[in-house]
Amino acid sequence: QENDPCNQIDCGKGSCFDGDCLCPLGYFGFNCVEIDPFYAQDLLDKGYETPLSLLEKADLKPSDIYGLTYKGGYIFYIDTNDEFPNFEGLVAAPFDVYEMAPACAHETGATDREIGTGNRNTQKISKVCSDHPQHAQPLTFGNMSLTGYDDWFLPSINELKLIRSHLYQLGRGGEFFPGWYWSSTEADGQKAYRQDFLSG
């Protein structure tokens, strides 16, 4: 064992045989640390990489990753500047949810517009509107379960704009309807902002 050439080699996600690294599909190089961009989706599916780690290790740009699937949805934003301590990026649900219900016509304070605020908006809406169960709308209230995940929320208006520009306009990430989508950004107690995917 002392003379085993593999004792001194770190093959990352690969394995060592007779002093050489045997890399799993998608990896190459002496220590299996280089990534073949062609296998990006496969590496995400297997849980070997995250969208952010792909950008750090592979010769990829964020736009190369938009539309790939991760954590049950389509990637449309990656936090490359480490602006948000609670997440690395955002994914859009893989299909539209047509859930018609009366609106919760109350001021909720869910007025945030920026990227990273949709979840906070949704929590504010849920807090205020849960006192009015006759108006409950599952997606708005942030308790909808899709694709094995139950942390979906209604995006802020700026998040929604990114879904349009990074997925819909590029023809990636499923079948988006060429029309209006609601955001979680409140205008007042009666109105919220929405985005027309067709015209912008």
> How do residues 90-116 score in pLDDT, each as one tens digit?
999 988 876 554 567 778 899 999 999
CA–CA distance, 13 with 16 (Å, rounded to integer): 10
pLDDT tens digits for 173-199? 878 889 999 999 999 888 899 999 999
Helical ranges in 103-186 per DSSP H: 118-129, 157-163
Rounded to 5, what percent of the chain is helix, strand, coil? 25, 20, 55
CA–CA distance, 75 with 170 (Å, rounded to integer): 13
CA–CA distance, 185 with 169 (Å, rounded to integer): 22
Average pLDDT over residues 17-23: 90
8-state DSSP, 23? P
pTM of the model: 0.86
Q: Does residue 156 surpass a pLDDT of 50?
A: yes
